[in-house]
Amino acid sequence: MSDQTEIVPEAEDEDAYALDQRAVARILYAVDIEDRQQLLELLEPLHAADIADMLEQINAFDRMRLVKLLGDEFDGEILSELDETLREEVMRTLNPQVLAEAVRELDSDDVVDLLEDLAEPQKAAILEVLEDSDRVAVEQSLTYPEYSAGRLMQREVVMAPEHWNVGEAIDYLRNRHDLPEQFYHIMLVDPKLRPVAKVALGKLMASRREVLLSDITSDTFEVIPATRYEGDVAYAFNQYHLISAPVVDENERLVGVITIDDAMAVLEEENEEDILRLAGVDEESRISDTVLNTTRRRFPWLAVNLGTAVLASLVISLFEEAIQTVVALAVLMPIVASMGGNAGTQSLTVAVRAIATRDLTGSNLFRVIRREVLVGALNGVAFAAIMAVVGLIWFGSPQLGAVIAAAMVINLVVAGLAGIAIPVALDKLGVDPALASGTFVTTVTDVVGFFAFLGLAGAVLL
Amino acid sequence: MSDQTEIVPEAEDEDAYALDQRAVARILYAVDIEDRQQLLELLEPLHAADIADMLEQINAFDRMRLVKLLGDEFDGEILSELDETLREEVMRTLNPQVLAEAVRELDSDDVVDLLEDLAEPQKAAILEVLEDSDRVAVEQSLTYPEYSAGRLMQREVVMAPEHWNVGEAIDYLRNRHDLPEQFYHIMLVDPKLRPVAKVALGKLMASRREVLLSDITSDTFEVIPATRYEGDVAYAFNQYHLISAPVVDENERLVGVITIDDAMAVLEEENEEDILRLAGVDEESRISDTVLNTTRRRFPWLAVNLGTAVLASLVISLFEEAIQTVVALAVLMPIVASMGGNAGTQSLTVAVRAIATRDLTGSNLFRVIRREVLVGALNGVAFAAIMAVVGLIWFGSPQLGAVIAAAMVINLVVAGLAGIAIPVALDKLGVDPALASGTFVTTVTDVVGFFAFLGLAGAVLL
């Protein structure tokens, strides 16, 4: 426990790894009284990721004062760990020499990550302070498209010719002075520097010197083109339990290595994006954003929703006469729409996830559509029966019960169909289904729900 | 590219890693004509994870025939990769000797994972076929609670006394004959077997023989209690970029190691669970589930939604008279409710994510609540202005415009407040906020929306 407590003091099991509120209070107190020594002592045991989290949680004024008080003790890792929305703010607060020093400490892939979001003059200023070899590495990575494997990879690779044996590899490693901080495999390459296999370090250590490297290669070996989308890279790491994988250029030559910790961070970002997009929240939205920024980011989705709500209202207005005659229709109509919206959201969420995890393919698409429609029909019949009884008891009208029951079945079948068909269609069109499916599906279920219920009521009751 | 094509034939960049439909068709054809040799040849290049995905995508009848045709060539890894809902079905299809053989091939942590979900007699039958040492390891892991670090860890640990130097460690490793398949760090322990630090294999290889292990330990070192919840473990791996971490028992003695690939799988499951729960879908729900199971799994959430929809209808029924007098109220009222529901969902999704990523804490809770309420107020005013104009143009009534505008501001402020307060309150009560927040928040926004709009209309217009 003693070591873990170093990182998260007073952590209890029920709140493991949450930042301790009292520790934050002590840090802010040190900032208030401008006690630099105390601040350094309080931050010393914290991991850069936790310091970044704390900077995200305190307000902008405290953040500025804390960063200024830290001065040249500001650790570059904190910048890497910080949310992109706050990075620029913190980088502006840092004095240029401190910033240069902080960036020089970082690995080339972390510098690439920092630079991506900066404006040109800032980017140039930071590139200038890097050592020559680092600058070249960073500039080469930046030639790959954003969100590509080429941006994600480390350029430091440990490689060996495919014909070496264990002894040669160990001697080579022990004589190299510039081994990367983290590496878990030796990549075997052919004479044209194309990766052909990899050998785990543990396996290397455990084998006799005369064993050929080619006899102890890992079973699973994935080669990643530098232009591949980072989300696909993260999927491959998760699917094939990779720890590291070689990255190749367009000539299939080894240019870098991606390790699982970077892939894990991408996977988490992709999931975050899906969750937020499904709820109509801009995926750049952060809890540390200002009120005005948040309002602006939320507005467009609400505006789209207003449009679809007005569309549904237009459908209702077609039946004003029926509502005036039987006011119970106005009371009951939101139930049909709401049930359709919920059932549609269930189907579309399952579809969006299945698309993201490559579980919905041409092989099972029609079976999945059929299943969703049948599920909609079965739950439709169940809730139709319930609502028929509710309608009968509440308003004493068997016809009203029959109308709402029929509308319920129709809307839940449509919900199941739209819930699968719309995300699949958007995906085929190259639009992220998480982004737009929700609006389309609930528009369909609102319009169909009101139309079916009020239309049937008009025909049966009037 | 050649190696990657081995795993996913004909993969294109735009559909990287998706299972190829033609390959699946060829496999199913081999099953149809019962050509075992061809089936084996087609499956040979596929990773167990891809075979499991394929089994999930084909129907139950094809699945049974394929597994039977594979016979004793069935790979135990496929079981580990398979969705839990299908595992039992496939295990029943396998003949007991084949199953025993398949399970014997697996690592102890994978066997634990398989056994967790089985009924007692099946569990006992599988434990019986394991080798003695494996059975003891599996049984010990099963003594830890479900979803704990103890269930997740491998029991094979490579450890060394803290006072050793690099030479001693290398000699020891090279003389051990039972090193685990995958290991990335040597855990340093004190005389009581408590872990005190770890040394990366790469660092070990790169250091001179006389260097002390204690001088080349990793900066970040997290010790995980065996009883810790696996979701917290996954969070720590992602937050601190861990590759492996030691697990300790209640006496702080080293009992196992968790590696990042297992943590990544847990992180992905946790995210999956959050996404599905937010949409009211049972997190055990799978795209390969039967129609009846899916209907049953979706029913409860829809039933809860029906209850809340009826509640909203009861609010509407309080104002039947007003609606009969001004039927425009029935036309416009869903707009207010719908906007509130959407704004509330935005706030609650941000809150649920922030709770999951430990970004919403005591330090910033009140600032976040204030922010959401202000965002609701600002967007409320914006949409109030738009709706006032719509109400005026559509129905020619300035009063109606004023009423809908006022109701919009009220409901969007309430949405922002409820969207944060409800998930935070549920979290404090120990309920997963992803599970229940949605219903509560939309119930609040429906009830408040209808009440504010119809109530104000009754006061102003009648």
Could you report the per-residue pLDDT of A259-286, keeping only the tens digit for each?
A: 999 999 999 998 988 999 988 888 777 7
* B97/B167 same-domain check: no
Cβ B160 vs Cβ B169: under 8 Å: yes
The shortest CB-CB distance from A236 to any of B17, B201, B294 is to B17
Indicate the residue among A119, A143, A167 that finishes a domain. Answer: A143
* A340/A262 same-domain check: no
pLDDT score, position A20: 81
CB atoms within 10 A of CB A440: 20
Query: Measured in whole angstroms, how far is the alpha carbon of residue A379 from the centre of its chain?
Result: 32
Residue A368 lies in a domain: yes
Residue B327 lies in a domain: yes
Q: What percent of chain B lies above the pLDDT cut of 70?
A: 97
The shortest CB-CB distance from A279 to any of B345, B354, B371 is to B345
Q: How far is B39 from chain A (nearest CA, A)?
A: 18
Q: How far apart are alpha carbons B349 and A275 in whole angstroms?
A: 8
pLDDT at B254 over 70: yes
Residue B15: pLDDT band (50, 70, 90) is: low
pLDDT score, position B20: 81
Say which residues have a Cβ less than 8 Å from residue B113's Cβ, sequence separation at least 6: B80, B151
CB atoms within 10 A of CB A262: 23
Enumerate the β-bridge partners of residue B224.
Answer: B247
Cβ B346 vs Cβ A285: under 8 Å: no
Query: Measured in whole angstroms, how far is the alpha carbon of residue B27 from the centre of its chain?
Result: 31
* B313/B262 same-domain check: no
> How many Cα neighbours within 13 Å face the side chain of B90?
32
Q: Which of B105, B205, B285 to mutate to test the interface with A (most CBs of A within 10 A)?
A: B205
* B40/B124 same-domain check: yes
Helices (H), A12-131: 21-32, 36-43, 48-57, 60-70, 76-81, 84-93, 96-104, 108-116, 120-129
* B130/B177 same-domain check: no
Q: How far apart are alpha carbons B73 and B77 in whole angstroms?
A: 12
pLDDT at B314 over 90: yes
Record: contact A291-B363, CB cut-off 8 A: no
Domain total of chain A = 3
Strand B244-248 and strand B224-225: the pairing is parallel
CB atoms within 10 A of CB A332: 27
Q: Two tokens at B162?
A: 């803290």
Q: How far apart are alpha carbons A81 and A54 in whole angstroms?
A: 11
- Provide, as residue numbers in chain A, all residues whose Cβ is less than 8 Å from the Cβ of B316: 330-331, 334
Sign of the torsion angle spanned by Cα atoms B329, B335, B340, B345:
positive
Cβ B147 vs Cβ B231: under 8 Å: yes
Indicate the residue among A108, A143, A178 that finishes a domain. Answer: A143
Give the CATH number for residue B250.
3.10.580.10
Domain of residue B216 covers 159-278
- Provide, as residue numbers in chain A, all residues whose Cβ is less than 8 Å from the Cβ of B2: 223
pLDDT score, position B10: 33
Cβ B63 vs Cβ B89: under 8 Å: yes
Residue B6: pLDDT band (50, 70, 90) is: very low
Q: Which of B302, B369, B370, B439 to mutate to test the interface with A (most CBs of A within 10 A)?
A: B302
Residue B262, amino acid? D
Residue carrying the six token digits 């295990």: B91
Cβ A271 vs Cβ B268: under 8 Å: yes
Indicate the residue among B228, B243, B278 that finishes a domain. Answer: B278
Residue A153 lies in a domain: no
Task: Name the residue of chain B whose CA is nearest to A304's CA.
Answer: B339
* A315/A442 same-domain check: yes
pLDDT score, position B282: 83
* B329/B208 same-domain check: no
What is the average pLDDT across B107-113? 84
DSSP code, position B245: E
Residue B206: pLDDT band (50, 70, 90) is: confident
What is the average pLDDT across B334-339? 94
Cβ A411 vs Cβ A344: under 8 Å: no
Residue B286 lies in a domain: no
What is the average pLDDT across B182-209? 93
Say which residues have a Cβ less than 8 Å from residue B346's Cβ, sequence separation at least 6: A279, A280, A281, A298, A301, A302, B419
Q: Two tokens at B58?
A: 């084909």
pLDDT score, position B13: 43
Give the CATH number for residue A24.
1.25.60.10
Strand order in the sheet with B185-189: B159-161, B185-189, B195-200
Enumerate the β-bridge partners of residue B229.
Answer: B148
Residue B263: pLDDT band (50, 70, 90) is: very high
pLDDT digits (tens, 9 = 90+) for B117-154: 778 888 888 888 888 888 888 888 889 998 999 999 98
* B38/B94 same-domain check: yes
Residue A14 lies in a domain: no
State the ipTM, two decimals: 0.87
pLDDT score, position B99: 87
Strand intervals (E) in A242-381 = 244-248, 254-259
Cβ A461 vs Cβ A326: under 8 Å: yes
* A66/A186 same-domain check: no
Q: How far is A120 from chain B (nearest CA, A)?
A: 30
Give the CATH number for residue B394.
1.10.357.20
Q: Two tokens at B413?
A: 């402020």
Cβ B373 vs Cβ B314: under 8 Å: no
The shortest CB-CB distance from B222 to any of A7, A289, A332 is to A7
* B414/B358 same-domain check: yes
Residue A148 lies in a domain: no
Task: Name the residue of chain A whose CA is nearest to B315's CA.
Answer: A331
Helices (H), B36-107: 36-43, 48-57, 60-70, 76-81, 84-93, 96-104
Q: How far apart are alpha carbons A420 and A346 in whole angstroms?
A: 10
DSSP code, position A154: B
What φ, ψ does residue B154 adopt, rounded to 5°?
-85, 145
Q: How far apart are alpha carbons B30 and B46 in whole angstroms?
A: 15
Residue A403 lies in a domain: yes
pLDDT at B439 over 90: no
Record: contact B338-A309, CB cut-off 8 A: yes
* A265/A122 same-domain check: no
Residue B121 lies in a domain: yes
Enumerate the β-bridge partners of residue A256.
Answer: A247
Ranges of residues in chain A with a pLDDT under 70 are: 1-15
Element (H, E) at B170: helix B166-175
The shortest CB-CB distance from A4 to any of B21, B50, B223 is to B223
Q: Two tokens at A49?
A: 């990721």
B420-427 long-range CB contacts below 8 Å, 24 or more apart?
A: B420/B347, B420/B348, B420/B351, B420/B368, B420/B369, B420/B372, B421/B369, B422/B348, B423/B348, B423/B351, B423/B352, B423/B355, B424/B351, B424/B355, B424/B360, B424/B365, B427/B355
Query: Please, what is the end-to-end C-alpha distance for chain B in angstroms?
Result: 74
* A187/A105 same-domain check: no
Residue B454: pLDDT band (50, 70, 90) is: very high
pLDDT at B12 over 60: no
